Structure 1
Amino acid sequence: MLTIRKANSGDVLDAWDIRKASVLAACANYYSEASLSAWVDGSPTDKWANVVERDFYVAVADGFVVGTGMLTVASAQVDAIFLRPSHMGRGIGRKMLESLEALARDHGLASMRLDATLNAAPFYRHCGWSGDSISTYRTSRGLELPCIPMTKEGLHNTLSER
């Protein structure tokens, strides 16, 4: 059984490990090894822990954290949908995204945005997101990565159609 819940301080290390494993597994054919290393190396900082506790949600299967997602309501931004490689392809990413979209609706947001990695853009398009132009994502550590800015409009309408 899969549940999605608000992250807490006990999820910080799992979120970090899932992020690293997911990036290395899913992005390897799209970004250089040097970029991937710069993106995921190191250890979680206090800033990371604060963001996880404030904005992250976790997907839990059989008592084990298997995925993450982040919603920043103030900017209507989705980030950090990462899955353990062992749990990719099981619909968990879609369930996380649907959960974040529902939270956005609950907060009165009519649209959302995200910066998709090159490998993830087809997934988001399949989930109703739009965007094709390649841009540059700047990480908090100053790394620049190609990404595809995407949006999803009409969140209010989606709720009434269900």
Structure 2
Amino acid sequence: MSLTLRLAVPEDLPELRTLMNASIGELLRPFLTPDAVAASFDIMGLDSQLVADGTYFVVEDDGALAGCGGWSRRATLFGGDHSTGRDAALLDPARDAARVRAMYTHPDHVRKGVGRLILEACEAAAAGEGFIRCELAGTLAGEPLYRACGYREIERFTAPTSRGVEVPLVRMGKALAGAVSR
């Protein structure tokens, strides 16, 4: 296994969508009902703003796309391009927490360190821009990883979908070590 990390580029978008769909469709099944897994596609997916902002990472395992995820200096906590309630307002690092966003691991690459590698890169980049905290909206499938990486629960909530199904999420946060003061 040889994991490599790089920033995503616009040419990655089609392959990223495929990876995200596989991740949502398979990795949420042990945690949600079939209706809730299907409804998850309404609120999760690709946020191309992260790629445009240069804050979205791709992990490859011997050249195969193994995972992706990023962070944001924008107010949106979760959701893809198609999701409602997005907010592109810039956050204030002195007051706001950076957002860890759109974390997905391909089902063939779970438990190989992909998520940890992405989280470390996100946290380092956010700290480098002066953020002292990160927050995220995790799925029930992702919660164990986030806990293992030092994130703590802030609140549990459900996200409504167009299918009338509420998808459970957990808002989590973490103080960043090595944050640069501005």
Do the structures match in fold with TM over 0.5? Answer: yes
- 1:72 match: 72
Q: 1:156 to 1:143 in 2, by over 3 A?
A: farther
Paired residue type of 2:148: H
- 1:34 match: 35
* 2:130 alignment partner, SS class: coil
Shift of 1:62: 1.9
2:82 pairs with 1:60 = no
2:139 pairs with 1:117 = yes
Q: Report if the CA contact (8 A) 1:109-1:156 is conserved.
A: no
Shift of 1:140: 10
- Higher mean alpha-carbon deviation, 128-137 vs 1-10, is at 128-137
Q: Which has the higher helix share?
A: 1
TM-score (structure 1 length as normaliser): 0.81
Give aligned pairs, total: 154
Shift of 1:133: 3.4
1:107 to 129, 147, 151: 129
- Which digits, 9 at most, give the CA deviation of each residue in 1:25-69, with x for residues without a partner? 21112222122223338xx8xx84454443421112222221110
2:108 pairs with 1:86 = yes
Shift of 1:85: 0.6
Task: Flag structure 1 segments of 5+ consecutive residues without an equivalent.
Answer: none
Paired residue type of 1:128: G
- 1:12 match: 13
Counterparts of 1:40-51 in structure 2, within 5 Å, are 40=41, 48-51=47-50
Q: Identity across aligned pairs (percent)?
A: 30
Return the alpha-carbon distance in structure 1 between the equivalents of residues 58 and 103 of structure 2: 9
- Which digits, 9 at most, give the CA deviation of each residue in 1:82-111, with x for residues without a partner? 111111011111111111111111111100
1:135 to 157, 160, 177: 157
Q: 1:16 to 1:139 in 2, by over 3 A?
A: farther
